[in-house]
Structure 1
Amino acid sequence: VPFGGDPDPDALWRLDMFYTAVALAIEERSGVSTSPIIGMKPVGASGGWAFCRDVHRFGFETFRKLAEAGTKLVDDATAAIEA
Structure 2
Amino acid sequence: MSENETVETRGDQRIELLVGDTNNDGKPDLWAIDTDGDGKADVFQFDTNGDGKVDITMSDIDEDGTPEQVVDGDGGLPPAAV
TM-score when scaled to structure 2?
0.23
Q: Report 1 or 2 for greater relative contact order, CA contacts < 8 Å, sequence distance ≥ 6.
A: 1
TM-score when scaled to structure 1?
0.23
Structure with the larger strand share: 2
